[in-house]
Every structure is written in structure tokens, then in C-alpha cells.
Chain A
Amino acid sequence: MIVKNRPGIFQRFYLLEALKGLRITITKVFQKKVTIQYPEERREYSDRFRGMHYIKSVNGVENCTACMLCPTVCPAECIHIEAGERPDKEKYPVKFEIDSLRCCFCGMCEEACPKDAIKLSNIYEMSQTTREAWDKDYLMEQRGHK
């Protein structure tokens, strides 16, 4: 439906309206600013903010044991894990990939993890130049400020 807003007699006299607008602009100049200078300035986020995932590791050994609880609980089915065995660890993820485009950042994987291995960091800048899924090595590097 198209609403036709017919201007009244005062609106058609544009100078008054223009002055009204200018008054708002001038008052806003002296008020506290809501925008920030993004790349230089950053907004404070809550500690509970759910950003990019990371795999927690202790002395370079990932906490993850590939128990597959996170892919089980994941509503977006974006986590793909392949389990394997190596001498220093009975079970570890050979492949651990998160398809970030499918991920809805619900944080259920973090909640399901019995080993405190998969966590969501504060990182919210996730644009990439390639279409690759996040793999294990990449995820182990990301920690934000946690």
C-alpha cells in the first residue's frame, strides 16, 4: 500500500522545516557520540560474548579427545571430526574442522565438551579471503584475549 503524505501549508514552506532539521544536527554535535572509529577504536564486549571458536591446548597438546559430543549436539552440523591414535595420546582429533558459514554461534559445543577443549573466544572479525573451513591448527592458534 502506498501512503501519500500530503504536506500541509507550513511544510510546503520549506525554510521552517530545514531550520528544524538543522537544530537537531547542531544539538547532536555537542552530545556524546554513539559511533566509534572502528579499526582504531574497539567496543568492549561481555566475557560471555560468543565469537570465533578455538581449541584449548596445554603445552601444545590439544585438550580434545575427539569424543564427538560437539558434532552430536551441534544444531547446524558444522563440526567435522576424525579421530585417530598417536603414541602420546590414546585418542585425538586427526581432523577438526568447523564450517564457519554454517555455524550459528550458539555455543552448545562449548557446553557439551567434557574436556574444556572447544571454546568460543571474543574474536568477532572472521572475514576471510578463502573459503576453507577452519581446521585444527588454525583453531588452536585462535584464543582472543581468553
Chain B
Amino acid sequence: MPKCIIDGREVEFTPGQNLIDVAKSAGIEIPFFCYHPGLSVVAQCRMCAVEIEKFPKLQTACSTPATEGMVVKTQSDKVKQNQKSVMEFLLINHPLDCPVCDKSGECDLQDQSYGYGSAYMRTSEERRTYVDLDMGPVIQKNMNRCIHCTRCIRFGDEVAGIREMVAIQRGNNTEITTIDGKQLQTEYAGNYADICPTGSLTLKDFRFKKRAWFLKKTPTICEGCSRGCSLELQHEANVIYRCIARENKEVNKHWICDEGRFNYHYVQESDRITEPAVKQGTALQMSAWKQAVLSAREAVAGKKVAVLVGSDLTQEEAAMVQQFAKSKLASAPVFHFGTPGVESAKDDDAADSLLKRKSKTANLHGMEKLGIAPFTAMPSGVHAAIVFRGGRAQLPTLAVSTRIGVGVFKRSESLEFEAVLPGTAFAEKDGTIVNFMGMEQRLKRAIAAPRECKSLSEILMMWTNL
């Protein structure tokens, strides 16, 4: 591999890599604003300028590919002077509203102002202000904080495939806005907030909910569709506050769709059944675990049972249910259900040009791997169904007299159930899911199960041993 010298250290690189990435691999930080590994390079912010031997002027590291024998200095006086000047230039118009801004704590501008800027301000002029138009339900805009990195413009253009953000006016009056002040159309709008290096574009959903530094971060996998994008759940004190994309070059690069980003809300919705419930008369009544399990077992006793597994369960859970059906339910037939119209891996196509897949449950391909048949119609003679569900699979219409639900159910969905035994959702369990490429990815537990919810293994243990 070719080598170049950065700050006196020999660093190996693959040809075509730019200096920011090469320096990063050696543990040397070059500050930048407009560069993003998932977007094209524009070299607009000038923050990453470094000194290269035999070049008369500073070169932007983001747009300069490393070459054999290149000698780069990132700490020279010239570079430091440039960084300081760029920081001062960017902060001329940046309001000092970090206490109000949701980005503070994870803000590139804040960090780099602290690291490379000056503590003093030499200008006394008024800062420019803008009136912001509504950007739709996902993104809150505050143009005053913008530093014109144009990451958002490039994201819409290059990734989301819809040109909706533009820069109008010039120089100091530049305004980044949607075309004609329209609301954002893309289904990937949450990424605008992720890539914005300042608090210019923030999530409405997360607005003023929590400061970034309080949040604990758990890397996990999205269960929104069969792609299985890498997510980071951010939570504190057992409440999930936000969900952002995690870099995964093979699956989702740096992006996630809004559906996956806001999918976690059902986990802590008030409509979710979090205590074991048994049907009494016409309504479901809260009861103790022991009673609920006993009455659920009684309801299916002596009947021919079919087991339905939601394709949003993990591999481990599905295998456990398979075994349970075989040994404890007299080899009852096991089917999987999930998205209507997408019964098997053959039906699971790309739903759009970027990430979304047609199967709206994560583990459809894993179910097939386990040899579970898709649910089409109830086999004849079956009078009871036990439905295992992770929270996202859509319940099919069941032509049976007795239904038992195990897993995550909403109160409104489960009116016809004899009993519901509350289980855990994707943020509350560890497990493996298989995405459409056949990649096995790990779900990681972020929060504890609410109230009386128990894991599937515990529920099945109670069912067999009580």
C-alpha cells in the first residue's frame, strides 16, 4: 500500500482516499464542516485546509486525494491561523443561543469553536436574522444558525433523489430554503437533522425533549422493514427519546427513513398492553400473570391449535416457538405473518430507490430460513390460534373461535382475544434478525420492558410449568 506522511508519521492509504479519511485512520483529526463521507465533496467551508509540501497554498483535505510520498502538516502555524480565521468567519453571524439549541452537546460548530476558535469576538455588528417557514412535520428549521455547508442540499440531490433544498441569494444574505418555501416531501427528511453540522435543521419530534449529553446510546437494528438498517437508540431512564442512523456501509450507509426513525414510538405508547389481560365478558381485564396464563392455557385446552409467528420476532424467539409448538402443543402447525401481500422472500422487493423494502417486518427472511410457512388461511379443523407478535407485524383475519396473543399488542387490536400475555418489543430484547441480503444482525436491548411485560422465554416457561 502507498504511504504518505502526515504530521511526521507514515500513514498507509488506499489510492483515492482523501486526506481527511487517511488522517482519521492514523488518529489525526482534521476539522471540517461541509464534508460528509456519504455526500459529494464541495470544499466550501475551508475548515479542513492543510499544508502540503510543494504546494504554494493551503489545500482542502476533503478534496485532495492522498498520493505516494505526500508530506502533510495539519498542525503548522499557517493551518492553525486558517482554522482560527474560518471559525471566526463562521461565527460572525451565528447566534449565541446554544442554551436554546437542541444541537448543543453534539454540535460540530460548538465543538470546533471550542477546539479551534477564539474565545473573543471582534465584530460588534448585529447578526443577520431570517424568518423561517414551516418545513413540514419532521424538520424544524432555524436559518439564523446556518453556516452554509450545503450538506442538506447535496443530501436531497444525491441521496434522497429529490431536489428540494436550495441556496437563494448570495454572500452574507445566502438563505438555505426549500424551493418556493414548500414543505419537505422526502420520506428521508430525518437525515437532514442528522447531517446538519449546526442546529439549523433539527428534529421536531425531539424538540426540547432532552439535552444530547444526557442520552445513553445503544446500537441496534431497525425493525421497520426487511433491510434492517443500523440504528442508534438514544434513551435515558428507560425512555427512548430519539433514534438516529448508524453508519453501516453494507446496508444503509449513513441514512435511515423516517418510518424507521420514528418507529420506536409504539414501544412506549399508552395504548400498548403492558399487563396480562384476560377477556371477561366482552372486554379485556387486567389480571395477574398466573391467572392469565392459566386461563389462556384453559382456553386452548382440547382444541386443535395453530401457532402464528409474527415475522417481527427474532430468530431465537421464532425457533423457541417452533420447539414449543412441537413439544407442548402436539405438533401444532406454525405459520408466519407480517405484511399483507408479502408472504415470502420472493415478494419482498425494493419499495423505493434508496432503502425501503416491501416487507414491513424485519425478519421475514429469517422465518424462511427456519422453515416456517407463510400464513394464507387457517387449516381446516383448527379452532384456536396462538399469535406471537413482536409489535409490527400486521394481524391477519383469523377464522377461529379462540385467539391468544403473546407479545406486543395494542388495546384496540386485541379486542377479540381471549387473553393477551404482554411480551417485549425490539428495543427491549436481544436477538438476531436476518435481513433481505441474508445478513444476520444483532438487536440490542436498550430499555427494560415496561411494567409487567416479560420476555418470550419467561412466558413459555410459565405456560409449560405453571
Which A residues are closer than 8 A to B by beta carbons? 65-69, 72, 83-85, 90-91, 114-115
Contact = CB atoms under 8 A, between A and B. Distances in A.
A56 B99 CA distance: 16
A90 B211 contact: no
Interface in B187-206: none
27 contacts: A65-B99, A65-B100, A66-B208, A67-B98, A67-B99, A67-B100, A67-B104, A67-B211, A68-B211, A68-B214, A69-B99, A72-B211, A72-B213, A72-B214, A83-B208, A83-B209, A84-B208, A85-B207, A85-B208, A90-B97, A90-B100, A91-B99, A91-B100, A91-B208, A114-B98, A114-B99, A115-B99
A123 B99 CA distance: 28
A91 to B, nearest CB: 5
Given A66-B208, A67-B98, A72-B214, 4 more contacts: A67-B211, A83-B209, A84-B208, A115-B99
Interface residues of B, number: 11
Contacts of A67: 98-100, 104, 211
Nearest to B99: A67
A91 B99 CA distance: 9
Nearest to A81: B211
A88 to B, nearest CB: 14
A66 B97 CA distance: 12
Contacts of B207: 85
A40 to B, nearest CB: 44
Nearest to A69: B99
Nearest to A64: B99
A138 B211 CA distance: 25
A83 B211 CA distance: 10
Contacts of B104: 67
10 nearest A-B residue pairs (beta carbon): A67-B99, A83-B208, A68-B211, A91-B100, A65-B99, A65-B100, A114-B99, A90-B100, A91-B208, A115-B99
A6 to B, nearest CB: 63
Contacts of B213: 72
Contacts of B208: 66, 83-85, 91
Contacts of A85: 207-208
Contacts of B98: 67, 114
A66 B104 CA distance: 13
A90 B142 CA distance: 11
Nearest to A115: B99
Nearest to B212: A68
A69 B98 CA distance: 11
B127 to A, nearest CB: 15
Interface string B90-114: 0000000111100010000000000
A65 B208 CA distance: 10
A66 B210 CA distance: 10
Contacts of B99: 65, 67, 69, 91, 114-115
A85 B209 CA distance: 11
B212 to A, nearest CB: 10
Contacts of A72: 211, 213-214
Contacts of A91: 99-100, 208
A57 B411 CA distance: 46
B83 to A, nearest CB: 25
A85 B104 CA distance: 17
Interface string B207-246: 1110101100000000000000000000000000000000
B465 to A, nearest CB: 42
A71 to B, nearest CB: 8
Contacts of A83: 208-209
Contacts of B209: 83
A114 B211 CA distance: 15
